[in-house]
Amino acid sequence: MDLRPETFIFEPVTVCFDTPPLFEKRPGCPQAFTWRGKPHTIQELLSEWHDYGRRGRMTHNMRPEHLVTARKRGSWGVGRDYFRVRTSDGRYFDLCYDRAPQDTRRRKGQWFVVQELKPPRNGPRQRGEARH
């Protein structure tokens, strides 16, 4: 489906899992989230992607031979997991789990709603179909 960004948000959300994640630093897609006090049930996971690149001074604190592996699967506290979802009310969102610890007492990462997306105004296009 051809979705376009509608609103950039990047605000914290609370997520819910039917079954607690096996690994807290790689939790997978939640079943629901609460944003601005409103619950949203995730109907469908459309896609997911991961960004485990190191930025800033974090790029210099690992041996070069370990960087290749870290870029593929991440290392503790580094990276983000993204999930594009459709909610039960027909809305589309990109969610993000930022693996960085919030502070020394809260060592888990944090969830964010990144943006809301909309399908094209005249519906989804088929590959090769011209837009009028």
| pLDDT per residue as tens, the chain (132 positions) | 789 888 899 999 999 999 988 877 789 999 999 999 999 999 999 999 988 765 555 555 555 555 555 555 555 557 889 999 999 999 999 999 998 766 666 667 899 999 999 986 765 544 444 443
First to last CA, the chain: 18
> What pLDDT is stored for residue 132 in this prediction?
39
Digit-coded pLDDT (tens) for 99-127: 876 666 666 789 999 999 998 676 554 44
